Amino acid sequence: MNAGRFLLMVFLAAASFSSAEAQQAKTENTDPEAIKSEIIRLQDEEDRALLRGDAETLDRLWADQLLYPNDNGEVLTKTQRLAEARSKTHNFSVFRHDDLRVRVYNGNTAVVTGYSTTLKKYKGQASRGPRRFSAVWVLLDGRWQMVAHQRTDMSRQ
């Protein structure tokens, strides 16, 4: 390889690096309405993945530090939630979300609230809800990931 070609490759690599950074900056500056649509799309993707027990998709949607307090008194980690999805411990048969509302902060944090009337079996016990849930999404490494989720089973009241 001659010096000219090598120099060209170095410059191309540098340009590519800058472009990736610029792309990330662009993603982080998206307007709130676009972010809200994206979060609702991701929330829907998560619902479908939970229905299918699709751990691969959930692995992508959930942040490594996910914290998941549930209405059984447990705070589950991502590893535990993925294990549940794979083993169908948490088995969903119907998934419906209503009254979804998204609030965006700093362009990199989104809070979703809503109701779910999900038919599910958890450790063999069936329940339908309705449940109040909140979910928090953060833009990490250029993509939105769920960092927290909590729900309250309103049928217990």
Partner 1 sequence: MWCILLILWMATGFLSPAGAQNKTDKTQDTEAAKKDVLKSERLFDQALLASDTQALAGLWAEDFLYAGTSGEILNKAERLAQLKSGAVKYDALERDDVRVAAYENTVVVTGRYTSTLLIRDSGSWGPGGISHLESPGRLSGIALFTHVYARLGGRWQIILEHVTYITED
Binding site for partner 1 (CB under 8 A): 3, 6-7, 10, 13-14, 17, 63, 65-67, 69-73, 75, 103, 105-106, 108-109, 111, 113, 115, 130-132, 134, 136, 138, 140, 147-148, 150-154, 157
CA distance 28 to 88: 35
Nearer to partner 1, 53 or 95 (CB): 95
Q: How far is the CB of 18 from partner 1 (least distance, A)?
A: 11
Nearer to partner 1, 50 or 129 (CB): 129
CA distances from 19 to 38, 66, 108 (A): 23, 30, 20
Nearer to partner 1, 34 or 105 (CB): 105
Q: Which helix (H) or strand (E) holds 40?
A: helix 32-52
At 127, the amino acid letter reads S
Q: How far is the CB of 153 from partner 1 (least distance, A)?
A: 8
Structure-token pair, residue 144:
């939105």
Nearer to partner 1, 11 or 93 (CB): 11
Say whether the peptide bond before residue 32 is cis (omega within 30 degrees of 0): no
Q: How far is the CB of 52 from partner 1 (least distance, A)?
A: 26
Three-state SS at 91: strand
